[in-house]
Structure 1
Amino acid sequence: MSANASVFAQSFFHGTKADLRPGDLIVVGHASNFSGADALSWVYFAATLDAAIWGAELAAGSGPGRIYVVEPTGPVEDDPNLTDKKFPGNPTLSYRSRDPLRIIGEVTGWQGHSADQVQAMKEGLAKLAREGRDVIID
């Protein structure tokens, strides 16, 4: 690497409705925002803003959707819920960790999906729940 080259770190995002601040930690032990699953033993995040937008739009709660830039504090692995089990490879660059995610900032001014797209996604998730297929590989 030349002296003029720059090194860039991978950015990771977490979409939610929780009101958090830089320095706060997102930890395991919370219920899923997307199913009736019990408390999860992993925290989930993505390297694509689109995946985080879906997380913010679909998250449980009454507050506004929020997207945080997060930093894993320990080892990470591909999220099996969105990788080879459902989609070849890892197109959403979705990951999980048993260690906390540290919030280092918030993404503001992001553009959400259309109301029709969000409704279609919610209907799809409801259908999976009715069929008992809303299982999270935790």
Structure 2
Amino acid sequence: MSEILDAGPFFHGTKAALRVGDLLTPGFRSNYRPEIVMNHVYFTSRLDGAGLAAEIIPGDGPPRVYEVEPTGEFEDDPNVTDKKFPGNPTRSFRSAAPLRIVAERDDWTRLTPEALETWRRRLTEMRDERAEIIN
């Protein structure tokens, strides 16, 4: 068994309406590069980080944050830790195993309309630059 990277709790931001007990699994299109089918499911131990993800990803429905528990091993998310934030200060992770929904959370900090627009503009620029995603 690998070393414990973080004891949690863990969170996942999405626009999907899910229920306690549901599983989040790999195999869906990337929120940031829809032509890529992801081999992992991503999560963080920062509640507001999951809220940010929920607000900026494309999709229908309101942003939602779920508290999740990994069902298998997980690793630091190389898309942010190795490239942008060495040492994983964002406390972002990924797993090839499902994540189980344990609760929906509503106590995360919402973005202002101005901040939301700034983040969406950054995502558009990233897509235009064809930023690499480590899958």
Q: Which residue of 1 aligns with 2:86?
A: 88
Distance 1:112 1:85 in 2: 26
Of 10, 13, 28, 2:11 maps to 13
Name the residue aligned to 1:65. 63
The one-letter code sitting in structure 2 at the alignment partner of 1:118 is L
Q: In structure 1, what is the Cα distance between the partners aligned to 2:127 and 2:8?
A: 34
Per the normalisation by structure 2, the TM-score is 0.90
Tell me the distance in 2 between the aligned counterparts of 1:61 and 1:119.
15
* Partner Cα separation in structure 1 for residue 129 and residue 15 of structure 2: 26
Bigger radius of gyration among the two? 1
TM score, norm. by length of structure 1: 0.88
Q: Which residue, 28, 31, 34 being the options, matches 2:32?
A: 34
Counterpart AA for 2:109 = Q
Equivalent residues, number: 129
Report if aligned partners of 1:34, 1:58 keep a CA contact under 8 Å in 2.
no
Q: Judge conservation of contact 1:28–1:100 (CA < 8 Å) in 2.
A: yes
- Could you tell me which residue of structure 2 aligns to residue 3 of structure 1? none
Cα distance in 1, alignment partners of residues 94 and 35 from structure 2: 16
**1:105 — aligned with what?**
103
Report the Cα distance in structure 2 between the residues aligned to 1:120 and 1:93, rounded to whole angstroms: 22
Structure 1 stretches of 4+ moved >4 Å: none
1:72 is matched by which residue type in structure 2? P
Q: Is the 8 A contact 1:13 1:70 kept in 2?
A: yes
Query: Separation in 2 of the partners of 1:90 and 1:37?
Result: 26
Other structure's SS at 1:13 match: strand
Counterpart of 2:133, as a letter, is I
CA contact (8 A) 1:69 1:107 kept: yes
Q: How many percent of aligned residue pairs carry the same amino acid?
A: 48
Name the structure 2 match of 1:136.
133
Computed over aligned residues only, the root mean square deviation of the Cα atoms, in angstroms, reads 1.2
Q: For the residues of structure 2 that align with 1:84 and 1:48, how far apart are their CA atoms?
A: 18
Question: Is the 2:48–2:109 Cα contact (8 Å) retained in structure 1?
Answer: no
* Residues 69-88 of structure 1 deviation map (CA, whole Å, 9 limit, x = unaligned): 00000000000011121112
Gap runs ≥5 in structure 1: 1-8
